Amino acid sequence: MKIVRAFHLFLLLGAGLLTLPSSSIADTVEYQFTLNTAPLVSSAAGPFSLDFQLNDGSGTNDGNNTATLSNFSFGAGGAPVGAASLIGGASGNLSSTVQIKDSSFLNDFTQGFTAGNTLSFTLNLTTNVDTRGAPDEFTFAILDNTGSELPTKTPLNVFSLIDVTAKLHVQTFGSDPNQVPVAGGTPLDTGAPTAKLIPPSTAPEPTSIVLLAAGLLLLVAKFKLFDRLNVRAKNGD
Amino acid sequence: MNIRKLFAGLSAAMLLQNGIPTSGAPGPITYTVTDLGALSANLATDTDSSATAINSAGYVVGYSGVFDNSSGTFLSHHAFAWIPKAQNAPTGAIADLRGLPGFVCVDVGHGNNLVRFDTNAWDINDLNQISGDSWTGDGTCQTLQLHAAIYGGSSPKDLGVPTGTVSSSGSGINSIGDVVGHAENQPGTSLFAFFYDGTFHDLGALPNFPFGEANKVNAAGQVVGQSYTADLSNLHAFLHKGTGPITAADDLGTLGGTNSAAYGINANGVVVGNASLADNSVHGFIYIGGKMSDLGTLTPGVFNFTGASAINNSNDVVGVSQTAAGDNHAVIWKKGGPIADLNTMINPASGWTLTSATGINDSGQIVGQGMLNGHIRAFLLTPPETGLEGLILSAATVCGTVQTTIGTVTLQTPAGASGALVPITSSRPNVADGPPSVTVAAGQTKATFPITTRDVSVATPVTITAFLNGTFKSATLTVHPLLSSVSFTPREICSRTTATAKVTLACPAPVAESVSLSSADSGAAPVPNNVEVSLGKTIGSFSVTGGDVFSDANDIAITATLGADKQSDTLTVHPLLGNLTIVPATVMGKKTAIGTVSLTFNIFNGQNCQAPHGGINVALVSDNSEVARPAVPSITIPGGSSIGTFTINTSVPTAQTCAKGISNVGTCAVDISAEAAGGVQTASVDVTQPGSPAAVNVSQIVSVIPGGFHFDHATNTYTQELLIVNQVNSQTPIAAPIGLVLDHFPPGDTNPDPWVLIGAKDLDTSKALVIGTTKATTPVNRPVVTLSLTNLPTPGVLNPGDSVTILLNFSNPTNAPITYIPVMIAGGKF
């Protein structure tokens, strides 16, 4: 009886070892975004805010996708400003890491920043496709001092848009150089941000290594325990 | 009897014992000496003149003998003021200060001779107020009194005498017009100092020295003078403040002897005067920090007389000192330092012997009296200029050759006898330049010079610099082109609408200026040939009315030209008509629809163009008036308005009346056009035959690929993009009308959704799509968006492989999930 319980425990742990690394590598994409923000530096439409959204399309707030934004760099003279405004499944801040989970219909992260010459950050996005309704949608926009999106070359006025569909398509848009921001000033011409795909690492992730090592230890322990129990059973203990 | 002059009288004889300087080594010539003249201008017969004080501006006062040329007799001493010469004037001028009424009187009973009595000027402040005295009476020479007076206006102000006294004299005056002096209640028997600030205040005298006399007062109200014993045998200097009585604490003491007198005080309370030593010789002193110090003498160790009479705010002291030969020489103690004979600092060939210095101002100018060609004459010594104090320009900006700019150089001290030559340079002589140099006349501190400027094409700063004795001063002059700009309000207009335009000059027009105008497109933006800027004005206005244009955003360069100056700006002219919409876009049979004509949205103003005054006529045309026709052939959009509406009447289309053919869903498309100002806008209305079948679900053929939802912060709404595609392999063209129905989810839910579809747009044409509600098809009472198929290869038909992209806009104040099932319908009524 004791032998069976211990063996089941081993099997459960072993199953976790096998599935977690596989899931964390295959369903995630990572992009390095870079945007020329030099035109924003002296714009009358500032100060500006970064706006990231990951909105649920399923209608059930299923929380099946997460956008993690990190490695923020604002260029010379740039820096985060103030506190973040968080709606739904958004958390974090621009000084460290931002995480947005589509656990509500609207999941919105907003925080002010002082524009430097270049804005860059890393987006890590899980890509679990909703099976009904609309796709989950990640957007990246910049708000002016009225809280309105800077005009871009898309009616949505976003600099990037990713619909989490089976065939992931990352769209980027430049600011509209012919349209004055709602806050006034002159039209801005940033060009479109670059979104450079970061290839997934071929080596297992650190968490995978830890779990794998733990599994091996359990495997060894199991056989030693099994041997000892067998010996005791044979000896009539 | 003027007791005040008694102590001075002790040295009076010595003062008049003049001769050629015999002591003091000749030094560099550092002063220019000016003869202030005398009130009787005949040098052969005229009388003396003596200067008593000088103010900051170089105005000198004193007294001068008046000689009657006709009778050959000396008449009296009169107060005078000497006025420095103005720039370019040949010399300064001496003026007789007329005395109080009765100072010239008829000596009744004594031959009825005309008698003139003395007037004196003792001090002058920077307001050119002069304190002194004058005899005054009823003109009969019987009731004369000596009264303190303030000269300086058109007539002297009589200060009168303190109560109980019979005479007064004003010796000193400060910068706010307070006067000090002395008064007598019985001539020769009593004397007291007074302070006058509108009323007389009796300052009295020092204890044991009952006769008081005040000589000078500074701005702080500190008074100096001296008090005499009753027998006038001894006197002590005092320094007193306020209008109360002088006390023992005010006694300045002596240099070891029995006598002292204080004659001068500066703004810092430093006092100078004379004091006797233990051996009864008299030396000048300076009293500073509570201590009286011996200023020394030209002949140390020799019993003689030296006196200090005035001090400026740099502690430069002037006075008199006897030489070894017993002659009186004017002297100076620079900064209260060693004594120096002023006769060694002037040109020895000048003919002057300077016998006494009585005043010095902060520029270092000294006045006093001396001997010139055997006559006692007042002199003015002017030190040489030491450097530049400043350079200012009459304007910081000028326009080309239009304005004259004047530069003014200021010296730190008045120019010497030969004047001061000040070189002038320019950083851009071809733009603005002065003369090579400017000369500041002898005795003056300022000189002006003209700056010549030339036309420029861009604003050009020029630095003008003046130099003197190792110092330099600079000032910047910016030369602008006269023509500054041409501009428009607003900067974007529509055809037939008007912008106010103006040309602006950088400076007021020197004459009425005619500015030429030209347009890069005189059809789209006609301008007058020229616009006038009136004399003295900077702006000339004109108007530009947009001509008829057919393509959007015509940027027209308008150029203004004035001489060599050109300025341009761009005026954007839009077509007048911006849009035509028809609502509803689909009508059934004999109904009506409303057409709306909008004028162009003007991006710069953020509003639509407005019809010009008088309105704009818009012609309305149908390409099938049997099926759909405007109720009127034209409408007028009133002046100032941006929108006009009209009614479209429709009829049931038939195969005969619908030239374009009835579609497979029983509709006939009719184009309605609006024409105005050369522009045309067209919109279609689909007229459906009654009895046409209800639209059916074509979702199996036409698929909807939704995008995700994005929250728009600017509008607090949500947007969603959808791609609608007739599948490539469907082999089924779908004709308009095609609708996108937003069916409830879960199916069958009839409750109102928390979100509302508030807008839809065709992203291929950027035009709004019509939103309605399904009535004739299933599901009913659902939002339905009628697609615009005008941008397809076959307008009105969504062929296999064709697609349209639309954008939906939702109001969703509670951020609830927006859930719906897209259903495509076509083939009949919605």
Instruction: Please give the single-letter amino acid code of residue B381.
Output: L
Structure tokens that stand for B532 in this block: 């006038």
- How is residue A42 annotated by DSSP? T
| One pLDDT digit (tens) per residue for chain A, 237 residues | 232 222 222 222 322 222 222 233 338 999 999 999 999 999 999 999 999 999 999 999 999 999 999 999 999 999 999 999 999 999 999 999 999 999 999 999 999 999 999 999 999 999 999 888 899 999 999 999 999 999 999 999 999 999 999 888 899 999 999 999 999 999 999 999 999 999 876 444 444 333 333 333 333 333 333 333 333 333 333
- pLDDT at residue B829, as a whole number: 79
Confidence of residue B354 (pLDDT cuts 50, 70, 90): very high
SS3 letters across B291-338: EEEECCCCCCCCCCEEEEEEECCCCCEEEEEECCCCCEEEEEEHHHCC
pLDDT at A1: 29
Region B383-389 average pLDDT: 78
Pair of tokens at residue B797: 């038909």
Q: Which residues of B touch A158 (CB under 8 A)?
A: 710
Find the distance separating the first CA and the last CA of chain A, reported in whole Å: 14
Is residue B117 pLDDT above 70, yes or no? yes
Percentage of residues in chain B having pLDDT higher than 90? 53
Residue range B260-264: mean pLDDT, rounded: 97
For residue B25, which phi and psi values (nearest 5 degrees)? -70, 140
The crossing angle, in degrees rounded to 10, of helices A2-26 and A206-235 is 170
> Is the Cβ–Cβ distance between B272 and B285 less than 8 Å?
yes
Tell me the C-alpha distance between A160 and A195, whole Å.
9
Task: State how far residue A95 is from chain B, nearest Cα, in angstroms.
Answer: 23
Chain A residues within 8 A of B706 when measuring between CB atoms: 57, 133-135
Between B710, B714, B719, which is nearest A182 by CB? B714
Contact list in A for residue B713 (CB cut-off 8 A) is: 51, 110, 141, 143, 147-149
Tell me the pLDDT tens digit for each residue of A22-80: 233 338 999 999 999 999 999 999 999 999 999 999 999 999 999 999 999 999 999 99
Spatial CA neighbour of B705 closest among B732, B725, B719: B725
B72-97: average pLDDT: 77
Cross-chain residue pair B710–A136, CB shorter than 8 Å: no
CB contact under 8 Å between B714 and A161, yes or no, is no
Structure tokens at B191: 């004397």
Phi, psi of B548 (to 5 degrees): -75, 125
Instruction: Yes or no: say if A3 and A229 are a contact pair by the CB < 8 Å rule.
Output: yes
User: Among candidates B536, B398, B525, which has minimal Cα distance to B461?
Assistant: B398
Length of chain B, in residues: 830
Structure-token pair, residue A21: 């690394």
Residue A200: the pLDDT is 74
Which residues make beta-bridge pairs with B328? B322
**Predicted local confidence at residue B77, as pLDDT:** 86
- Are the beta carbons of B706 and A53 separated by less than 8 Å? no
Residue type at position B427:
S
CB burial of B437-465 (b: ≥16 within 10 Å; e: otherwise) equals bbbbbbbbbbbebebebebbeeebebebb
Interacting residues of B704 by C-beta distance below 8 A, sequence separation 6+: B722, B723, B724, B740, B822, B824
**Which of B746 and B62 is assigned the larger pLDDT?**
B62
Nearest to B272 by CA among B255, B248, B256, B257: B255
Residue B282 has phi, psi (to 5 degrees) of -115, 130
Write down the mean pLDDT value for chain B.
87
For chains A and B, CB pairs below 8 A equal: 79
The answer to whether the beta carbons of residues B527 and B481 sit under 8 Å apart is: no
Distance CA B613, CA B616 (A): 8
- Sign (positive or negative) of CA dihedral B775, B779, B781, B785: negative
Which B residues 79-138 touch A at CB under 8 Å? Answer: none
Facing B711 at nearest CB: one of A55, A58, A164: A55
Q: Judged by CB atoms within 8 Å, which residues 738-757 of B form the interface with A?
A: 745
Q: Side-chain half-sphere of B666: how many Cα atoms within 13 Å?
A: 16
> Residue B582 pLDDT > 70, yes or no?
yes
Q: Tell me the nearest-neighbour CA distance from A173 into chain B, angstroms.
A: 15
pLDDT in tens, B709-730: 999 999 999 999 999 999 988 8
- The half-sphere exposure of A104 on its side-chain side, counting CA atoms within 13 A, is 16
Tell me what pLDDT residue B633 has: 96
Cβ of A105 within 8 Å of Cβ of B713? The answer is: no
- Strands in B200-204's sheet, in edge-to-edge order, are B167-173, B179-184, B192-196, B200-204
Among residues 51-70 of chain B, which lie with CB inside 8 Å of chain A? Answer: none
Summarize pLDDT for B225-247 with one digit per residue, the tens: 999 998 888 999 999 999 999 99
CB neighbours of B516 closer than 8 A, spacing ≥ 6?
B529, B530, B560, B561, B562
CA distance B708 to chain A (A): 5
At residue B439, the 3 state secondary structure works out as strand
Please provide the DSSP assignment of B337-396 as one string. -SEEEGGGGS-GGG-EEEEEEEEE-TT--EEEEEEETTEEEEEEEEPPP-SEEEEEES-S
Give chain A's contact residues with B (Cβ, < 8 Å): 51, 53, 55-61, 87-88, 104-106, 108, 110, 133-139, 141, 143, 146-149, 155-158, 161, 163-164, 180, 182
Strands, sheet with B483-489, edge to edge from the N-terminal-most edge strand? B483-489, B498-505, B539-545
Beta-strand ranges (E) seen in B84-156 are 93-96, 104-107, 113-116, 119-124, 130-136, 145-151
pTM recorded for the entire structure: 0.45
Q: Residue B331: how many CB atoms within 10 A of its CB? A: 31
* Number of other CB atoms surrounding residue A4 within 10 Å: 8
**The pLDDT value given to residue A8:** 29
Under DSSP, the state recorded for B730 is G
- CA nearest to A51 within chain B: B713
Please tell me the distance from the alpha carbon of residue B254 to that of residue B259, in angstroms, as a whole number: 6
**The pLDDT of residue B81:** 94
CB contact under 8 A, B711 and A143: no
Phi, psi of A176 (to 5 degrees): -85, 110
Q: Is the dihedral of CA B44, B46, B49, B54 positive or negative?
A: negative
Judge whether A102 and A63 are in contact, CB under 8 Å. Answer: yes
pLDDT at A136: 96
- Give the mean pLDDT of B140-167: 89
Rounded Cα distance, A19 and A2, in Å = 27
Token couple for B232: 């006038």
Q: What is the pLDDT of residue B144?
A: 86
Tell which residue, B29, B85, B94, has the closest CA to residue B446.
Answer: B85
Higher pLDDT, B107 or B612: B612
- Determine the pLDDT at residue A153: 94
CB B149 within 8 A of CB B100: yes
Residues 6+ apart with CB under 8 A from B805: B721, B722, B723, B724, B762, B763, B764
Give residues with Cβ within 8 angstroms of B631, minimum separation 6: B592, B646, B647, B648, B649
